[in-house]
Amino acid sequence: MERKIPAYLKTMSKESGKKKKEKRIRLPAEYTEGALRFKTGPGWKACFDSDRKLYTAETFWAGHYDLYEINEEIFNKLKTKGMERRDAHELIHTGRHLYKSVSSTSGAYDIALDEDYASLCPWAEVQKTGEKWDPELTDLAVAVFDSEKQNRGQRLKKRNDPQDTDQ
């Protein structure tokens, strides 16, 4: 016995099929836009800016979003195929942390570990929760958390010499 599907359900099915196809259309795992060379994988994206000789990356997963300055070695180790998200994140997280946004059940906040994160990563669509930590609180967190030690020198220099905007 053949079951007849109502016309309105057929239309819904076609529409949801179109949406699924649109979601599947993604940028290639490696691509170039002008001077920017990108690599992407599940939960991460890395960029090499050939004009500035600068490597940066973003990671995102379950309410967490982070920006990092990485080096050529890290960039080259990132594989767009066959690399687990966790492995890519661990590799990227060895770089210098620039920005963090967290949105979870325990609260939502943003931390600019390097105030120049936007100019360092102009390609990134930075996720923001709206609650940005004050620089003093960020300085305290950097001093307390050993995981952010690569930011100490840059932040202290900026605090002690506000005229220096090169770093």
Measure the CA–CA gap between 135 and 7, rounded to whole angstroms.
Answer: 59
What tens digit of pLDDT does each residue of 11-59 get? 544 555 565 555 555 567 999 999 999 999 999 999 999 999 999 999 9
Output DSSP code: residue 10: H
Count of the separate structural domains present in the chain:
1
Confidence of residue 7 (pLDDT cuts 50, 70, 90): low
Could you tell me if residue 84 is inside a domain?
yes
Q: Is residue 123 part of a domain?
A: yes
Residue 151 forms part of a structural domain: no
Pair 152, 142: CB distance under 8 Å: yes
> What is the mean predicted confidence (pLDDT) over 97-124?
91
Range with the poorest average pLDDT among 37-51, 56-70, 80-94, 121-135: 121-135
Percentage with pLDDT > 70 across the chain: 71
Residue 156 lies in a domain: no
The pair of three-digit structure tokens given for residue 135, joined into one six-digit string = 């620089």
The reported pTM is 0.69
pLDDT at 83 over 90: yes
Domain of 58 in residue numbering reads as 28-134
